Amino acid sequence: MSGDAILGETVLSAADVGMKFDGFRALANVTLDIRKGDLTAIIGPNGAGKSTFFNILSGAFPPSEGRIVFEGRDITGRRQHEFARLGIAKSFQITNVFPQLTAAENVRIAVQAMKIRYDIWTPRRRLTELVAKAAELLNLVGLHRNRERRAENLAHGEQRALEIAMALASDPRLLLLDEPTAGMSPEETMMMMNLITKLAEDRTVVLVEHKMKLVMGISDRIVVLHHGELLADGAPGDIRANDEVRRVYLGQTG
């Protein structure tokens, strides 16, 4: 966060975060403030620590060192399901949907899990609100026309959009996306980037990506990790002109 930031701009803070796996240090002293309303991209070469940092931010596992603070509350070490209740949603690199269910059923179950705790077998007569919410989310991600198709029959890009719709079921204030364009065709990639830009209009988004060229055009801010450390942090233009970033990528921006 810039030095002239005012109180209340920060939604999520990572303070001196470090992570070790059996003696191997994957992250070291990463300090980062995510500003409310920003679309922040976290990039870096393979092995930079992006996925590890994402897993810590989403509550998949606690850091070995440091703290995670969300909206002024220390959430370090809380269980992953608590993050969703607090307002943090995630979409992982590997698609995680129910393949045998329709798109509408997938999203309805996600909405139901957030609205009616411990009661996924709610009678149909009580599901009107849930079905309406699911339809709203499917429309938001561009899947309304495919709502009755089974998830396994959707294209890869559509499955990723479906997973995002499921993540949005909790009405998150912070949306975390891990490699959302992985395995996508150029056309699917463009559609996903358009969707992410749209979603960022109403919530804070953190995007973990390795495709620098793609994130340059849509991000408010870009954070670069390298060997588990924070290498650079700034606006796209600043990152593009950063000599250290250019050296790390060896001129490779794809």
pLDDT tens digits along 117-138:
545 555 665 668 889 999 999 9
Give the pLDDT confidence score for residue 93 in this predicted structure.
58
Q: Which amino acid is at 253?
A: T
Least confident of 29-38, 181-190, 241-250: 241-250
Residue located via tokens 């600043």: 238
- The larger pLDDT score, comparing residue 1 to residue 80, is at 80
Position 251 confidence tier, pLDDT thresholds 50, 70, 90: low
Domains of the chain: 10-87+172-249 (3.40.50.300)
Give the pLDDT confidence score for residue 3 in this predicted structure.
39
The answer to whether 169 touches 188, Cβ cutoff 8 Å, is no
Give the pLDDT confidence score for residue 137 in this predicted structure.
97
Give the pLDDT confidence score for residue 150 in this predicted structure.
97
* pLDDT single digits (tens) 196-232: 999 999 999 999 987 878 899 899 999 999 999 999 9
Cα gap 165→92, rounded to integer Å: 13
**Does pLDDT of 107 surpass 60?**
yes
Position 2 confidence tier, pLDDT thresholds 50, 70, 90: very low
Give the pLDDT confidence score for residue 95 in this predicted structure.
67
Q: CA distances (Å), 8 to each of 12, 116, 210, 217, 219, in order? A: 11, 31, 30, 26, 21
Position 4 confidence tier, pLDDT thresholds 50, 70, 90: very low
Instruction: Please give the average per-residue pLDDT across 80-93, as a whole number.
Output: 85
- The larger pLDDT score, comparing residue 120 to residue 1, is at 120
Angle between helices 156-167 and 103-115 (to 10 degrees): 20
Beta bridge partners of 176: 90, 206
**Does pLDDT of 5 surpass 60?**
no
Its pTM stands at 0.88
